[in-house]
Structures are given as C-alpha cells and as structure tokens.
C-alpha cells in the first residue's frame, strides 16, 4: 500500500453518552479509493463511530482531519459539504416521492424564470441528471417520476447512492446496505459498491454480513467495547476468520 496522505483521519476519537463510553480513543485512517469495512458485534461502537464521521454527532474528544487539514462536522450537511455522504439504512429516502425528488432532496436544481432573481425548480434537468446517476450505477428505471416505494430494495439503494453522487461525495458511508435484502438484490447492491470503487470513490461499509465484507472490502476494522482492535488488509482472510476475530474480541472485552 502506498503511503499517501489519508483522505480522512481520526485521532483519539471518543464518544460518550453520559457515563457510557461508546467509542474510546479510536485512531483510523481512510485512504482514497479504499473500501473499508467496519465490523463488530452489536454495541461495539461502530454506529457511534459512524455518527461522528457522518456529522450526525460530535465527538466527545479527539479530532478529525481531511487530507491532513483539521475538520469538525457539526451536522450531516457540513460533512456533505466536505464530501462525506452517509446512506442511512431505512432513513435515507422519502418513499412516496419520486426518484428525481429523492436524488435531489435538499439540493434541488433551479432555473431563472422571467426575472433574474426569480428561480423555479428545473424538473427536466433533475430527471435527466437522476437518470444519468442511475445509469452510472448500471441501474435502468424508465420513469424518474416513479415513487421510490415502487422500486425494489436494490434500486432504492441505487437511488440513495445517486444522492451521494449528486453531492459529488468522495467518501460514501453505507450503514448495513444489504441488511433487508434478498439474494438477488444483495448482489445488485454489491455491484453498486464495486462500481463506486471503480469510479475512484471511497466507501466505508458497516456490515454484519462477513461474506459481503470479504467480497468487497480492501481492509477490515473490527471494533469491540468501543475500541478498535483489528485494522488490517483483508488479504486472504475468510468470512469465518473475521467472525472469529469479532468473537475473540468480545471475549477479550468481557
């Protein structure tokens, strides 16, 4: 691995909720173009760590830097502006709104009308670009006005990823992207993640599915009791190896 500057680095990041320390002094470097899987049992601290990276919550201690420059994400919007987009399981989309409306939610395109300062939604351009993002992900849906609730689970993930592409996010955090999906849909989502990687984007993947992790990730980070205790390239690790590391970590923590 080349020793380039990390795209994102965490130093001594801790997050406590009152007396409960969910994340303890985690150092983590994410390099451009990597797929990093964060694993660990329930309560290991991965969700809390992700909330800090995505700007949903501020760390109790520690610092974040992007390309070596210190950053602080006070909100998901600030993280988005720095190119860090998070796809939250179940929370990402408005089911009854259209594909185009979902992709451009909160960042709608407008065009001037009549007067220079009077701007209206540019629905045609949003449809066209939404279609572009989806086809970038090799997902074809005929009608960009179709409500998201009428799409399959995999297609919905593609819509959520399209929103990250619309923000031109460099780092895309995916929280259990295949958790609720069947076999075929899971394969589609894994393909989506490979396309993101091929496109040069960096993906942080939170997953309980060790086979997904082995199939996709370049590196695995395992957490237990709020600490990071494994951080290594996947190499020839098998799904079982990772599962064992998670369990032995639990044994250590207990």
Partner 1 sequence: MLGLNWRDVVGHYGTAIAGLVLIAFFLVFAPNFASTTNIVNVLKDTSFLAILALGFALAFTVAELDLSIAETASLAAVVCGWLIQLQYPPIAAVAAAIGVGLALGAFNGFGVTVLRIPSLIMTLGTAAIAKGLAFMITQGIAFVGRWPVGFTGLARGTSFGLPNLVLWMAAVTLFAYGLVKWTRTGAHMVATGEADEAARLAGIATGRMKRIGLLLTGLFAGITAMLLAASLSSAAPNMAGDYLLYAIAAVLLGMTMFEPGKPNVPGTVFAALVLKVLGNGLVMMGAPYYAQDIVLGVIIIGSVAFSASAMKKAAFKV
The site map against partner 1 for 1-40 (x = CB under 8 A) is ----------------------------------------
Q: Quick check: helix, strand or coil at residue 236?
A: coil
Residue 39 CB, shortest distance to partner 1, in Å, is: 24
Instruction: Return the residue of 12, 70, 106, 233 that touches partner 1, per CB under 8 A.
Output: 106
Tell whether residue 110 is a contact of partner 1 (CB under 8 A): yes
State whether the Cα torsion 66-69-72-78 is positive or negative: negative
Measured at the CA of 95, the angle between CA 146 and CA 134, to 5 degrees, comes to: 50
Tell whether residue 184 is a contact of partner 1 (CB under 8 A): no
Residue 141 CB, shortest distance to partner 1, in Å, is: 13
Ordered strands of the 69-71 beta sheet:
20-30, 8-17, 61-66, 69-71
* Cα→Cα distances 134→5, 33, 123, 159, 192, Å: 31, 20, 16, 7, 10
Tell whether residue 182 is a contact of partner 1 (CB under 8 A): yes
What is the separation of C-alpha 120 from the centre of its chain, rounded to a whole number of angstroms? Answer: 31
Residue 187 CB, shortest distance to partner 1, in Å, is: 15
Number of residues that bind partner 1 (CB under 8 A): 30
Binding-site ranges for partner 1 (CB under 8 A): 56, 76-77, 80, 86, 88, 91-97, 101, 105-108, 110, 119-121, 147, 149-153, 163, 182
């Amino acid at each position: 691995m080349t020793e380039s500057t990390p795209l994102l680095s965490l130093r001594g990041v801790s997050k406590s909720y009152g007396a409960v320390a969910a994340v303890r002094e985690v150092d983590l470097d994410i390099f451009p173009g990597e797929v990093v899987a964060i694993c660990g049992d329930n309560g290991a601290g991965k969700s809390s760590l992700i909330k800090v990276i995505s700007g949903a919550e501020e760390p109790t201690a520690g610092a974040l830097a992007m390309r070596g420059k210190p950053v602080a994400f006070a909100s998901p919007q600030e993280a988005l502006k720095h190119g860090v987009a998070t796809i939250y399981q179940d929370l990402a989309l408005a089911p009854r709104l259209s594909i185009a409306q979902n992709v451009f939610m909160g960042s709608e395109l407008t065009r001037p009308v009549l007067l220079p300062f009077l701007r209206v939604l540019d629905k045609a351009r949003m449809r066209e670009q939404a279609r572009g993002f989806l086809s970038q992900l090799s997902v074809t849906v005929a009608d960009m006005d179709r409500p998201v609730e009428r799409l399959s689970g995999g297609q919905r993930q593609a819509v959520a990823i399209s929103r990250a592409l619309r923000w031109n996010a460099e780092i895309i955090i995916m929280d259990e992207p295949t958790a609720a999906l069947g076999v075929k849909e899971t394969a589609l989502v894994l393909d989506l993640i490979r396309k993101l990687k091929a496109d040069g984007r960096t993906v942080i993947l939170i997953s309980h599915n060790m086979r997904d992790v082995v199939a996709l990730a370049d590196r695995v980070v395992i957490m237990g009791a709020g600490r990071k205790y494994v951080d290594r390239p996947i190499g020839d690790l098998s799904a079982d190896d990772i599962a064992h590391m998670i369990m032995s970590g639990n044994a250590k923590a207990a």
